[in-house]
Amino acid sequence: MSLTLVSAKSVEDDRKARFESPLSVRGLTVSYGESPAIFSVDVTVRAGAMTAIVGPNGAGKSTLLKAALDVVKPLAGSVQIYGQPLAQMRDRIAYVPQRASVDWDFPTRVIDVVLMGMYRQLGLLGRVRARHRTLALDCLDRVGMRDFETRQIGQLSGGQQQRVFLARALAQQADIYVLDEPFAGVDAATEKAIIAVLQELRDAGRTVLAVHHDLTTVPDYFDDVILLNTQIVAAGPVADVFTEDNLQAAYGGRLATARVDPESVAG
């Protein structure tokens, strides 16, 4: 009898957690070939927190984001956004893909890249009105790129491009911001500017989920961390999860090259 009650309660708790979580995935498995890139992943992202996804190269970090956003089709599993199917909730999520995966060979102005993030607000005819332009310029201002509005995106440095992609995400006015390695190949000033914007979003109650490759900055930058190596190794608040044992489990023998500072982890 009591066992039944406990399990009914935990089912109810799970349902409640999924409903309240900005992003929850259950049993997510993705395979591009024979062996899965991610296997049976369960994640419940906490609202109003900054969460890092951390793990070695090829661990399936990008795949997890893409499957969560329906960019790649999972073999199995489900995704819920505030307890609802993704299809109904798309405009609540802004996604900044890994920069290297975006090809900007064709000429596109910075302001137009940001306006592209607003296509749902612009409507079918895509008429850009003064208020749309004002919002786009305001978003560029927040990432320090206001003066570059008429420049071609292809002519910018990697760091400048990343700021523009963040501005595009801001223009979507989403509740959840999902970023794939936002600091990869950017200068130190850009990293500072981006983290400041992400922390502002978090402080305003938004949810941030980012693949992050620099273990040394995880405790400074993030509240929660998901350690991934095809499967979830551990997930939760940084202070609980970011331990030597868990990192060894996630990185195996490769941790020595990952430059982890045990002092910063302990704090």
Is 227 a binding residue for ligand ADP by CB under 6 A? The answer is no
Which of 23, 37, 93, 166 forms a contact with ligand ADP (CB under 6 A)? 37
The one-letter code for the residue type at 250 is A
59 binds, among Mg ion, ligand ADP, none (CB under 5 to 8 A by kind): ligand ADP
159 binds, among ligand ADP, Mg ion, none (CB under 5 to 8 A by kind): none
Tokens representing residue 60 in the block: 């399936």
Q: Could you give the C-alpha distances from 170 to 87, 116, 206, in angstroms and in order?
A: 20, 12, 11
H or E segment and range at residue 168: helix 158-171
Nearest residue (CB) to ligand ADP, 194 versus 211:
211
H or E segment and range at residue 192: helix 188-203
32 binds, among Mg ion, ligand ADP, none (CB under 5 to 8 A by kind): ligand ADP
At its nearest, how many Å lie between ligand ADP and the CB of residue 54? 9
Which of 21, 24, 62, 190 forms a contact with Mg ion (CB under 5 A)? 62
Q: Is 41 helix (H, G, I), strand (E, B) or coil?
A: strand
Q: In the chain, what is the straight-line distance between the N-terminal and C-terminal CA atoms, in Å?
A: 44
Positive or negative, the CA dihedral 109, 161, 59, 203 is negative
Is 44 a binding residue for Mg ion by CB under 5 A? The answer is no
Between residue 53 and residue 82, which ones bind ligand ADP under the rule CB under 6 A?
Answer: 55, 57-63
For 21, residues 6+ apart whose C-beta sits below 8 A from its C-beta are: 44, 45, 46, 47, 80, 82, 83
Is 32 a binding residue for ligand ADP by CB under 6 A? The answer is yes
Q: Which stretch binds ligand ADP (CB under 6 A): 51-59, 110-118, 153-161, 197-205?
A: 51-59
At its nearest, how many Å lie between ligand ADP and the CB of residue 197? 23
Q: Give me the helix-helix angle, 158-171 and 188-203, nearest 10°.
A: 20
Q: Which of 63, 24, 25, 77 is nearest to 47 (CA)?
A: 24
57 binds, among Mg ion, ligand ADP, none (CB under 5 to 8 A by kind): ligand ADP
Torsion, CA 19, CA 23, CA 27, CA 28, rounded to 10 = 150
At its nearest, how many Å lie between Mg ion and the CB of residue 155? 26
Burial class (CB in 10 A: 0-12, 13-18, 19+), 97: middle
Nearest residue (CB) to ligand ADP, 68 versus 193:
68
Is 246 a binding residue for Mg ion by CB under 5 A? The answer is no
36 binds, among Mg ion, ligand ADP, none (CB under 5 to 8 A by kind): none
Nearest residue (CB) to ligand ADP, 61 versus 92:
61
Is 24 a binding residue for ligand ADP by CB under 6 A? The answer is no
Kindly state the number of chain residues that form the binding site for Mg ion, as judged by CB under 5 A.
2
Binding site for Mg ion (CB under 5 A): 61-62
Binding site for ligand ADP (CB under 6 A): 32, 37, 55, 57-63
